[in-house]
Amino acid sequence: MIKHNCKECKLKAAATCHLTNDEFLDLENNSVSVQFKKGESIIKQHALSLNVAYLRSGMAKVHMQGPTRDKILRVVNAPTFLGLPTSFGEKINQFSVTAINDAEVCFIDLGIFRNLIFSNGKFAYELIVELCRNELNDYLRYASLAQKQIPGLVAETLLCFADKIYHKDQFHMPLTRTEMGDLIGTSRESVSRVLSEMSQDKIIAIDAGMFSILNKEVLSNISDKG
Amino acid sequence: MIKHNCKECKLKAAATCHLTNDEFLDLENNSVSVQFKKGESIIKQHALSLNVAYLRSGMAKVHMQGPTRDKILRVVNAPTFLGLPTSFGEKINQFSVTAINDAEVCFIDLGIFRNLIFSNGKFAYELIVELCRNELNDYLRYASLAQKQIPGLVAETLLCFADKIYHKDQFHMPLTRTEMGDLIGTSRESVSRVLSEMSQDKIIAIDAGMFSILNKEVLSNISDKG
DNA sequence: AACTGATTGTGATTTTTATCACAGATGCAT
DNA sequence: ATGCATCTGTGATAAAAATCACAATCAGTT
């Protein structure tokens, strides 16, 4: 077991702000920190769910096998809990989580975690708030997914990476074209075509995986009007 | 204020099983029960969120204004909490909830509800489980939405109404064709066409809003293969 | 540096779905 | 019962996207 200090995560996760020293000790003694390389599976669909996972650093995709292909449900950024829904909703994992960058994940014993919820109302409350925020975010994305066409969805995705994840207009895209397709619900070819067109129109520039947003106004426009 | 007894709801909502008598009294004194007719708005997008709503009886649609049209996020059946995500995630409602049958809704003061979470870990835990289950359900639906074509989605929706909501193969469809389209992310015309074809093929029968599933095996097949 | 497999771009074609247009049906209020 | 508004079904057409096919590029390994 890698030596780790749960209190370190205090600043990063709202929920853990409310834990006492004893509760932190309890957490530390019942959790393990594990390193993952890009592409490695953190949580596997159909496997038994025995732990709550907490992404300490790195990025991951939450995805499941859909009717015809893989469906990426969301891309998440540390720090965040992973797989709460699967841990509390079902015994068997209903989705997978895979690292899309090198990542560090803490696995916490489910029983211990449950006890924290029982005994520490503020911790439980913050968890509920996080779950609710996630759900709202999902709702907005799914409304877009259902109604925008592909250029709008690609634009929305690029803006999300720039604004929500990397906080700058130039970033390395960690997803392949196929994965971008799985995220927005289309084929890799369609994603390619839209990106090509946006490059030709000087709205974005792509250089070996490095994406630059050149004309944010137009990109936002494409995203908004769908 | 209509006189109501919160303990009555005990059997219906897992979360409230864990409340003490004092907590029930507190709930009763800080909540109101309201009747809604079909079509009336229970929670309104963009309005301030001041209460947690609990659907005691009836059905409702959770929906929001999407980029081009209305998007129905889910159809819910009593008993269930309504609008938890909006209450805890944002001050302003991010979506609407509208009755699709006559319904009875209890509005609970948000502060009181928060205190229950703080002070009663088991109550909080059951809420977390409910939120997680909902999220899993949504994930499955969204994977379908992204990948199935319209006949598959219509079939899935009909099976869901029969199996999950009405628990029988003949039921009154409470949604219009337009609403069914908003739910599965397509136009009312496409829904109409698919239903016509299914009727011609004797897979279903429709008589003035009464839907009957005649050949469940074929319908499941259409749903599965997309 | 050469090899291998994964990834990407793009044209041609087919399939699916949206949109438009309009007629008919239905439900509700007076 | 009448009238009005909403809902529904269906054909014709247009638009969007999937699929297929294949070449080119890239990344990591030996």
Residue A84: band (very low, low, confident or very high) from pLDDT cuts 50, 70, 90 = confident
Residue A33 has pLDDT above 80, yes or no: yes
**Nearest chain B residue (CA) to A143:** B66
Structure tokens at B34: 């309201």
Nucleotide nearest to A149 (CA to C1'): D16
Using CA coordinates, name the residue in chain B closest to A123: B118
Distance A176 CA to D29 C1' (A): 21
Residue B86 dihedral angles phi and psi, to the nearest 5°: -75, -30
| Continuous segment of H or E residues that includes residue A201 | none
Question: Closest Cα partner for B53 from B12, B104, B10?
Answer: B104
Tokens (6 digits) for B50: 């001041």
User: Which amino acid appears at position B193 of this protein?
Assistant: R
Residue B72 has a pLDDT of 97
A226 has a pLDDT exceeding 80: no
Residues A88, A91, A94, A97: is their CA dihedral positive or negative? positive
Q: Which residues of A touch B125 (CB under 8 A)?
A: 114, 117-118, 124
B185 touches strand C (CB under 7 A): yes
At B10, the pLDDT band (50, 70, 90 cuts) reads low
- Whether A174 shows a pLDDT value over 80: the answer reads yes
pLDDT value at residue A28: 86
Who has greater pLDDT, A38 or B225? A38
- Phi first, then psi: give them for residue B153, nearest 5 degrees: -70, -40
| Mean pLDDT (whole number) for B28-49 | 92
Stretch (H or E) spanning A14: none
pLDDT of residue A2: 55
Place of tokens 């293969």: B225
In a mutational test of the B interface, the residue from A68, A120, A159 whose CB has the highest number of chain B CBs within 10 Å is A68
From chain A, the residues in CB contact with B86 under 8 A are 132, 136
Distance B225 CA to D19 C1' (A): 17
Q: Give the residues across from B170 on adjacent strands.
A: B212
- Residue burial B148-169, b: 16+ Cβ < 10 Å; e: rest: bebbbbbbbbbbebbeeebeeb
CB atoms within 10 A of CB A73: 26
User: pLDDT tens for residues B173-182?
Assistant: 999 999 999 9
Residue B119 touches chain A, beta carbons under 8 Å = yes
Closest nucleotide over all strands to B68 (CA to C1'):
C18
Q: Is residue B4 pLDDT above 70, yes or no?
A: yes
Neighbouring C-alpha atoms within 13 Å toward the C-beta of A64: 24
Question: Looking at the predicted structure, is the pLDDT value of residue A74 above 90?
Answer: yes
Least confident stretch, A54-63, B2-11, B14-23: B2-11
Q: Which two tokens stand for residue B40?
A: 């009336």
- Identify the pLDDT of residue B11: 55
For residue A101, how many C-alpha atoms fall within 13 Å in the half-sphere facing its CB? 15
Max distance between CA atoms of chain A, in angstroms, equals: 59
What pLDDT, in 10s, does the model give residues B127-178? Answer: 999 999 999 999 999 999 999 999 999 999 999 999 999 999 999 999 999 9
